A and B are shown apart, each in its own frame.
Chain A
Amino acid sequence: MSNHRFRLTRRALLSGAAGTVTLAAAPQIFSPAIAQGAPLKVGLMLPYTGTFAKLGQFIDNGFRLYVEQQGGKLGGREIAFVQLDDESKPEAATDNMNRLVSRDKVDLVLGTVHSGVAMAMVKVARDTNSLLVIPNAGANDATGPQCAPNIFRTSFSNWQTTFPAGKVLIDDGKKNVATITWRYTAGAEMIGAFKENFEKLGGKVVEDLTVPFPEVEFQALLTRIATLKPDAVFSFFAGGGAVKFVKDYAAAGLNKTIPLYGAGFLTDGTIAAQGEAANGIKTTLHYADNLDNPANIAFLKAFKDKTKLDGDIYAVQGFDAGALLDIGLKAVGGDTGARDKMIAAMGAAKIDSPRGPLSFNKAHNPIQNIYLREVKNGRNEMVKIAQAAVDDPARGCKLS
């Protein structure tokens, strides 16, 4: 009797679990009308649900906008999309990536936002020699020790976005600074690069505060900051956590006496929800809302026309991924078989990006301006270029 029960339960468990997994991870395949010649298959492995869903949506829209502007073709090839929700779950990332490259046989994968997922994708891309363009995840390792000819990044390395901030705080006369972030790789890398520059220039970090990722209960640490009384606080949070941190910081009245600085993600895509609490926060990033170069003005208008939404840096990163792929495909006349030539063209690309001039270093990480921005009138307005043409040192990368 008990044996019988057990078998039933186990069977229910297995079929139930299998059903759930299929349901949750089934890729939504959007096959376009059959075109003449084989279309180039682009796998979009992005977070379409979960905490980073909005970022995934903007990257997706940015990339599609570029393709649409070229009449649906890059380098003469029709583009077909295979869409897969990575749910920002690192544990499912290897399987998802394998599904795209082995089963769906995509020619290129675009993904993703979450660094843990992206690093699993990098590993599969290295093992299978698949083309991968990372449109957001900033893990230093992807263009460091794990760099490869077939892996590109159109976003940033974590190091890159906050290294210039070290000088910004010194220039503002902030010598004693407390840092606060989530305790995970991105947080450590962002804060680490800031400290590297800041301490080299004579600054002193009085305390490194951390919260477990993705927890958003900051009250205890805000109280700690109030007792430390540093000249300024340098922080990194993103998404919902960034909104809550900035609001809690202002509600605790700390912004009146201790100015808040941070990586740009603190106030990017979150500013509407942060409201007045964000006023005066200074951050560094490779983009600002009011960059007045022609490429940016045209991009923002086109993005608004397509989506009715205001474009942001995530959309730009997706858009530039389209531009990068276009350059590679044009160089080989749409023939992805000429892989080496295509990669060489992509590596040498000079893109007039909405963010400003964009090129790539030997590890295929962007070389780009990092801007100092200040929150004014509900926008991240550019104060100045914090550091021009910032090149990630690509520590540990063996490519040359």
Chain B
Amino acid sequence: MDLATFGVQLLNALQYGMVLFLVASGLTLVFGILGVINLAHGAFYMLGAYLAYGIASATGSFWLALIGGVAIAFVAGLLLENVFIKRLYGRDHLAQVLLSFGLILVLDEVRQLLFGKDVHSVAPPQGFAGTIQLTDNLSYPVYRLAICAFCLAMAAAIFYVVQRTKIGMIVRAGAENREMTRALGISFDTVNRYVFAVGIALAALGGIVVSPVSTVFPGMGDSMLILSFVVVVLGGIGSITGAAIGALLIGLTDTFGKVFFPSVSSILIYVLMAAVLLWRPNGILGRREV
């Protein structure tokens, strides 16, 4: 492998890892802060992509799809939290798994009613449709580079909000000790609601951003859900920085695994996960259970 090819593969790995991070960040927020296992995360990713397709083909504007899709997901998140999820806090994981599994079935049916079973594609926004020539016969879509930049910006924004703002402080305090936070007069229920809605919105955002380079199809959320859980477990539950590291590790392992060890590439990321968990049972940046 010459240096140019290596560079391109590195870019592939980075881009893949960035998308994984964007989707997994919502999962780790909900999992880490609310303690809720949301199996429907992948379904919201899928629904985001379908919303992008629906809105973009109705209005002709990808940007409207981006804003509209995220807004719809956010509102749906608020409603879901209010009606269902808030009953799950502190309950055992089985109830959460059952409810969110039910949500998968419902969301799949919603997708079916609204958009049917077809495979669709979404045009990249104007100005991002071109490609850049990388080697003599290989070019790279500009939009993929834009995704990298966007995901990096999102990572920085999430990190900033969680680590440096007052809202972030409340959220972290709530994750640390729910009762104490309440006792200090902070309306933690409202915080919960918004955290959940943001998590859902991030999943949908991932689906929307990816839709022009991916394809919009019914089963697209399933594999993303599994990968997101791997990212979250790898990075340490609830840690945004950990999710970023985990996502990048998976991007690298997957890309170079496919090139160097094609016959075992499908299990490499799970081998990586097992190895990391042996080394750090709570994930790379996970905190030890108290």
CB distance from A268 to the nearest CB of B (A): 11
In this assembly, does B213 line the interface, its C-beta being within 8 Å of a C-beta of chain A? Answer: yes
Q: Is the CB of A240 within 8 A of B217?
A: yes
CB distance from A216 to the nearest CB of B (A): 7
Cα of A207 to Cα of B112 in the assembled complex, Å? 39
**Given A217-B254, A220-B258, 6 extra CB contacts under 8 A:** A20-B101, A54-B119, A210-B262, A211-B265, A212-B265, A224-B259
A–B Cβ pairs within 8 angstroms, 19 of them:
A9-B92, A24-B105, A49-B112, A49-B218, A51-B218, A53-B117, A57-B117, A215-B266, A221-B259, A223-B9, A223-B259, A224-B259, A240-B215, A247-B213, A248-B213, A252-B131, A253-B138, A269-B119, A273-B119
In this assembly, does B120 line the interface, its C-beta being within 8 Å of a C-beta of chain A? Answer: yes
Q: Which residues between 97 and 132 of chain B lie within 8 Å of chain A, taking CB atoms?
A: 98, 101-102, 105, 108, 112, 116-121, 131
Q: Which residue of B lies closest to A245 (CB)?
A: B215
Number of interface residues of B (CB under 8 A): 50
Cα of A223 to Cα of B131 in the assembled complex, Å? 15
In this assembly, does B220 line the interface, its C-beta being within 8 Å of a C-beta of chain A? Answer: yes
Chain B contacts to A: CB under 8 angstroms: 1-2, 5, 8-9, 12-13, 15-16, 92, 94-95, 98, 101-102, 105, 108, 112, 116-121, 131, 133, 135, 137-141, 213-220, 223, 254-256, 258-259, 262-263, 265-266
Inter-chain CB contacts under 8 Å: number: 128
Cα of A256 to Cα of B135 in the assembled complex, Å? 13
Chain A residues lying within 8 Å of B220, measured Cβ to Cβ, are 216, 240
Number of interface residues of A (CB under 8 A): 51
Contact of A254 among B118, B121, B137 (CB under 8 A): B137
Cα of A153 to Cα of B164 in the assembled complex, Å? 64
Q: Is the interface of A mostly helix, strand, loop or mixed?
A: helix
A50-B101 CB under 8 A given contacts A12-B94, A220-B258: no
Chain B residues lying within 8 Å of A227, measured Cβ to Cβ, are 1-2, 5, 135
Q: Which 7 A-B pairs have the closest CB atoms?
A: A240-B217, A212-B266, A253-B139, A226-B138, A53-B117, A51-B219, A219-B12
Contact of B135 among A9, A226, A244 (CB under 8 A): A226
In this assembly, does A275 line the interface, its C-beta being within 8 Å of a C-beta of chain B? Answer: yes
Cα of A50 to Cα of B98 in the assembled complex, Å? 19
A209-B262 CB under 8 A given contacts A219-B255, A223-B8, A252-B140: yes
Chain A residues lying within 8 Å of B133, measured Cβ to Cβ, are 253
Q: Which residues between 5 and 23 of chain A lie within 8 Å of chain B, taking CB atoms?
A: 9, 12-13, 16, 20, 23
CB distance from B283 to the nearest CB of A (A): 23
